[in-house]
Amino acid sequence: GYKFIYLNNGASASWAILNYFSLSGVKIYEYWMPQEENYHLYYNDLLNNNFVAVAVHIHYSKLPHLLIEKVPALYVTRDPISKLKSISNHASGYLWKNITPIMKRFNLTCKEYSKLIPKNRYWMHEGEYPRCDVTFKDNWHLYGCLSFDSLIQKIPNITEIFYYSFEEFEPKNILSTWTKISKLFQLNLIDNSLLETRRDRVRFGLGVLPVCLYVLEEDVIKNEEDVSSLNKEGGYEIYISADTEQRLEENVVIIDETNINDSRIIAYVKDECKDILHNEKLLQESKKFLEGYFQALRENVDKTKENLITERKVLEYLKKDIHTRNKIKKLLDEELNYLKIHRPDIVASWKYYKEFEKMCEELEKN
């Protein structure tokens, strides 16, 4: 049978954790996929005696009731106001609509780097900047993100809940955290380099990656943009990626790299393009281009971070919007009873939630 249950309501490092489970040899599937689809996947894995863990979400109406095995559960706790911040900053799955062909494959003449970076796109409203006013109107997503009591009531056979805080999955803590989880659930150990590298589903400001720089000798002397060489043969393809798996492949050579917002960005060539390493002039021109491109990526990430919603902005918004504030207060009062009774230490550690409670109390008096 399945070995444990991963309780999830999003905005709590879930993409990274699902990825770590997968790397540890566990068959587990994204909770945002249709439950019918996941049910068939889990069923087949159980028939094949694979190591299975089930990820469940509050909006699963049937799957939780089919979990009759008496097994433990894993749950990642996080300050609810920080969760509201995260869902407001959630990147859209439609960023590709902002990505043009030249942003994915370009040459040495494309030195107007800003044209190679797409505008950001955010979940629900598809705008360039995050907006909590739109996000907080969606009751379905609010309930999905903030519920806990309703979730565990659906799965009465849980024997024990192992709690980990969101902070324990930050890059500086992930190695010790995942070592504990691996021992707890008897998982395969993962390569440390994979654990220590940030793995977001859509990295803020880096969503255009991976891309390809096509390097051809004739482009070195050109002073104006000319993309005609992209259709010619005989050049070298340099791939730029933030995905960590590439540097573990044997047939690639990294020619440059940088760190942007905890993500290691690498530029590499595959076996068939390794000859560029013997062409010093072309290699140096490529590195000069990469320096400019990396800087454009970095500036885009910095601009993106400047415009993100913070916990302070969430509280400021809720102070003004009475209806939304009361709605969220009521939801949290209903959904945090279990934690307040069984793990008051966790609730007490939530800085912004305590500020929210205090704000609601003061505004109610006035």
pLDDT tops 60 at residue 295: yes
Higher pLDDT, 248 or 208: 208
For position 48, what pLDDT does the model report?
Answer: 87
Note the pLDDT tens digit of each residue in 214-235.
999 999 999 999 999 999 999 9
User: Residue 191: is it exposed, middle or buried by C-beta count within 10 angstroms (0-12/13-18/19+)?
Assistant: exposed
Q: Are 263 and 203 in contact (CB under 8 A)?
A: yes
How many residues are recorded in the chain?
Answer: 366
The CATH architecture one would assign to domain 4-89+130-200+309-365 is 3-Layer(aba) Sandwich (3.40)
Q: Which of 44-58, 237-251, 322-336 has the lowest mean pLDDT?
A: 237-251
What pLDDT is attached to residue 197? 57
pLDDT in tens, 313-359: 999 999 999 999 999 999 999 999 999 999 999 999 999 999 999 99
Average pLDDT (11-31) is: 89
Find the DSSP H helices in 162-235: 174-185, 192-195
Identify the top-confidence range among 17-26, 122-131, 292-301: 292-301
Instruction: Tell me what pLDDT residue 263 has.
Output: 83
Question: Distance (Å, rounded) from C-alpha 195 to C-alpha 191?
Answer: 7
What was the pLDDT predicted at 248? 60
Domain boundaries, the chain: 4-89+130-200+309-365, 95-128+205-306
Measured CA to CA, the distance from residue 45 to residue 264 in angstroms comes to 34
Per-residue pLDDT, 193: 67
Calculate the alpha carbon distances from 145 to 10, 198, 330 in Å: 6, 22, 14
Q: For the chain, where are the alpha helices, taking DSSP H only?
A: 14-23, 35-47, 80-88, 101-104, 132-135, 139-146, 149-153, 174-185, 192-195, 280-306, 311-320, 322-335, 337-342, 344-348, 351-365
With 50 as the cut, is the pLDDT of residue 296 above it?
yes
pLDDT in tens, 25-41: 999 988 888 888 988 99
Instruction: Tell me how far apart the alpha carbons of residues 103 and 300 are, in angstroms, rounded to a whole number.
Output: 14
> For residue 247, what pLDDT is reported?
59
- pLDDT mean over 43-47: 88
Whole-structure pTM value: 0.88
Assess whether pLDDT exceeds 80 at residue 198. no
- Mean pLDDT (the chain) is 92
Contact 5, 21 (CB under 8 A): no
Taking every pair of Cα atoms in the chain, the longest distance, rounded to a whole number of angstroms, is: 75
Q: Which residues are 7's β-sheet partners? A: 56, 75
* Strands 236-241 and 211-215, bridge-based pairing: antiparallel
pLDDT of residue 201: 44
Q: CB–CB of 26/41 below 8 Å?
A: no
- What stretch of H or E contains 259? strand 252-260
Higher pLDDT, 79 or 56: 79
Element (H, E) at 173: none
- Which strand ranges, in their side-by-side order, compose the sheet holding 211-215? 105-107, 211-215, 236-241, 263-270, 252-260
Q: Please tell me whether residue 197 adopts helix, strand or coil conformation.
A: coil
Q: Which residue has the tokens 């140096």?
A: 284
In the predicted model, what is the mean pLDDT of residues 272-292?
96
Confidence of residue 246 (pLDDT cuts 50, 70, 90): low
Q: What is the pLDDT of residues 136-185, one digit of tens each?
A: 999 999 999 999 999 999 999 999 999 999 999 988 899 999 999 999 99
Q: Kindly list the strands in the beta sheet with 73-77, ordered across the sheet, starting from the edge strand earlier in the chain.
A: 53-56, 4-7, 73-77, 161-165
Which of 5, 90, 85 shows the shortest CA–CA distance to 42? 5
Instruction: Answer yes or no: are the C-beta atoms of 155 and 246 closer than 8 Å.
Output: no
Query: Could you tell me which residue, 31 or 306, shows the higher pLDDT?
Result: 306
Joined together, the tokens standing for residue 310 give: 């913070």
Contacts of 13 (CB under 8 A, 6+ apart): 76, 166, 169
